[in-house]
Structure formats: structure tokens, C-alpha cells
Amino acid sequence: MLNKKTKEDTMTYLILRETHYEGIDNSYDIEDFTNDHDKAVEKLQGYKLINDNKDRTYTIIKYESPLLLTEEVA
């Protein structure tokens, strides 16, 4: 039997900050996260609005946690 979690319960939205560099690889950091899509979009807009660094960008990454079996299925 599978957990009774729905797809929405296992979905997490990560706000990712990418910093661009010359001559080396870019760096990626998780700035924030939420399970609510609308809140993720609002947070992303906020981070973009206050961003004053032209070498920094923000984006949303959708991450879905795997469902785990809680009982053996016969």
C-alpha cells in the first residue's frame, strides 16, 4: 500500500540563486523553498525585485519527493 500523500503533498518548489562568474563555473544556492506554488512565484518575484546584482539570477525548481512504500504489496 502506498502512502496517502498526494502529488501536491510531495511537491516542493526551490528558489534557486545562480551567481555568474567570469573564468570559473557559476555557483548555485537554494535561497528559499515552499510547498505552495503561488507562494513560490511570489517569493521569486520578490527576490528578482530586490536583486541589485547583475551577476545574480533567481529561478524556481520544482522538486517532487519520491513516494515511499509503507507496507509490502502482495
The pLDDT-based confidence of 21 (bands split at 50, 70, 90) is: very high
Q: Is 47 helix (H, G, I), strand (E, B) or coil?
A: helix
Q: Is 35 helix (H, G, I), strand (E, B) or coil?
A: coil
**pLDDT, position 72:** 73
The pLDDT-based confidence of 2 (bands split at 50, 70, 90) is: very low
Report the DSSP pairing between strands 56-64 and 27-34: unpaired
Cα–Cα distance, 2 to 71 (Å, whole number): 7
What is the pTM (predicted TM-score) of this model? 0.72
More confident residue, 72 or 37: 37
Q: Is 31 helix (H, G, I), strand (E, B) or coil?
A: strand
pLDDT tens-digit profile of 30-40?
999 999 999 99
- The single-letter code of the amino acid at 8 is E
DSSP lists the bridge partners of residue 14 as: 33, 61
- The single-letter code of the amino acid at 62 is K
